[in-house]
């Protein structure tokens, strides 16, 4: 069966990458295959996870590099692997309109809150959970959305809510949101988008 060629972009621990790899093994993600993992951090543990699972990895340095140069290098790698869908899984660099236009409706991201709460520039990783706790929110969650030039601004694909206990530390809340929301809706969304892409006769 024809499968969508997926690249996962990472910067850190890669637990969401792990969830995607498991989903592929378990047949939850069946319309796409992860063929490449790209990190902008050479010490990202996500790279180890990919290698352990026999997935090709690439490192593209982004620090102190002009956006244009970074994206040129990234695009060349993605094109050389004929990537059709890009999944941002804890990828901590904002992408330009030039880049997101090339892959319109072909980039998805997982964000650790219920967009439009606690999102946009500056809201990433633990900051998001610190903000939710500081605000006294009772519910948070995760969102998977298409990526456009507005940070966390693209069309929402899936969301899942998680209850907040006010005594949680940001780290505890992060773990809960990952376990109860991100690791579930990211693989489901990836499958949904891949299935749609195959059904569009996109490749005819
Ligand atoms: C995840 O919580 C992800 O939603 C978040 O960073 C964490 C990465 O964890 N992403 C963002 O905040 C992007 N705005 P992981 O490397 O273990 O998947």
- What local confidence, expressed as pLDDT, does residue 200 receive? 75
Written as six digits, the tokens of 24 are 């592929």
Q: How far is the CA of 202 from the centre of ligand 1 (A)?
A: 30
User: Does residue 182 have its Cβ closer than 6 Å to ligand 1?
Assistant: yes
Q: Are strands 156-163 and 4-10 parallel, antiparallel or unpaired?
A: unpaired
Q: What's the pLDDT tens digit per position in 106-143?
A: 999 999 999 999 999 999 999 999 999 999 999 999 99
Told to judge if 111 belongs to the known catalytic residues of this protein, a careful annotator would answer yes
Distance from Cα 203 to the centre of ligand 1, integer Å: 31
Domains in the chain: ranges and CATH = 4-197 (3.40.50.170)
Helices (H), the chain: 15-26, 45-52, 67-80, 97-102, 126-135, 170-177, 183-199
What pLDDT, in 10s, does the model give residues 34-89? 999 999 999 999 999 999 999 999 999 999 999 999 999 999 999 999 999 999 99
Angle between helices 126-135 and 170-177 (to 10 degrees): 110
Contact (CB, 8 A) for 110 and 62: no
The SS3 of residue 151 is: coil
Rounded distance from Cα 92 to ligand 1 centre (Å): 8
pLDDT band at 1 (very low <50, low <70, confident <90, very high): confident
**pTM of the predicted protein model:** 0.96
| Cβ atoms of residues 45 and 14 within 8 Å | yes
């Amino acid at each position: 069966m024809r499968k969508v060629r997926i690249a996962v972009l990472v910067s850190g621990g890669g637990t969401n990458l792990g969830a995607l790899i498991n989903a592929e093994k378990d047949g939850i993600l069946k319309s796409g295959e992860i063929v490449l993992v790209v990190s902008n951090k050479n010490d990202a543990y996500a790279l180890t996870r990919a290698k352990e699972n026999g997935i090709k990895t690439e490192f593209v340095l982004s620090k102190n590099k002009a956006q244009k140069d970074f994206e040129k290098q990234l695009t060349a790698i993605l094109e050389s692997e004929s990537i059709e869908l890009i999944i941002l899984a804890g990828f901590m660099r904002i992408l330009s309109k030039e880049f997101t236009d090339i892959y319109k409706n072909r980039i998805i991201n997982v964000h650790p809150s219920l967009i439009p709460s606690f999102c946009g520039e500056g809201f990433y990783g633990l900051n998001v959970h610190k903000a939710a706790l500081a605000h006294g929110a009772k519910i948070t969650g995760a969102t998977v959305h298409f990526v456009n030039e507005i940070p966390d601004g693209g069309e929402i694909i899936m969301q899942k809510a998680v209850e907040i206990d006010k005594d949680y530390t940001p780290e505890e809340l992060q773990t809960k949101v990952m376990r109860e929301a991100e690791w579930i809706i990211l693989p489901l969304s990836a499958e949904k988008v891949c299935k749609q892409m195959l059904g569009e006769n996109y490749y005819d």
